[in-house]
């Protein structure tokens, strides 16, 4: 079974911002969680691609603890750079990250775009950094997040 890991710096900053972090190989290396679940098969990990806006209106492709899935977002979801507290507060194609890694962020967290690691179209102080550390799940090899390198 393939185990994907969220990049450790994403986990650390999510915890620093007061966000909850789902159990994954990165946060629970035993693969055992309180629900009695197992680590997920690679085939189940990527249900949508955050680099392609492919979810229906009112939904965004967001991390779900094992990969990505279409999840409902707020009607007034923010654009890149807007303050946020949870993923549902950001527009499709973006993610709520701690303000410590987003240039000019005035809140605990701000929306920042997902990016293609092969293209790095972030600009400014931001670079396209890998979302996953180690071996990403199949289909997640090119997924990054625009943020300030640490």
For the segment 26-50, what is each residue's pLDDT rounded down to a tens digit?
333 333 334 333 333 444 456 899 9
How high is the pLDDT of residue 65? Answer: 80
What average pLDDT does the segment 1-10 reach? 47
What average pLDDT does the segment 75-79 reach? 94
Beta bridge partners of 127: 147
Per-residue pLDDT tens for 48-59?
A: 999 987 899 999
b/e for 19-49, b at 16 or more Cβ within 10 A? bebebbbbbeeeeeeeeeeebbebeebbebb
Does the model's pTM come out above 0.95? no
* Residue bearing the bigger pLDDT, 139 or 74: 74
């Amino acid at each position: 079974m393939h185990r994907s890991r969220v990049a450790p710096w994403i986990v650390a900053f999510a915890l620093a911002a007061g966000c909850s972090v789902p159990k994954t190989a990165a946060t629970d290396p035993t693969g055992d969680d309180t629900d009695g679940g197992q680590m997920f098969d690679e085939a189940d990990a990527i249900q949508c691609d955050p680099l392609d806006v492919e979810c229906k209106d009112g939904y965004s492709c967001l991390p779900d603890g094992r990969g990505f899935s279409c999840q409902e977002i707020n009607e007034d979801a923010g654009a890149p750079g807007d303050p946020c507290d949870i993923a549902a507060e950001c527009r499709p194609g973006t993610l709520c990250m701690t303000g410590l890694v987003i240039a000019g962020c005035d809140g605990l967290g701000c929306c920042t775009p997902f990016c293609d690691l092969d293209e790095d179209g972030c600009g400014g102080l931001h670079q396209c950094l890998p979302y996953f550390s180690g071996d990403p799940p199949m289909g997640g090899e090119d997924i990054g997040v625009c943020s300030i390198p640490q």
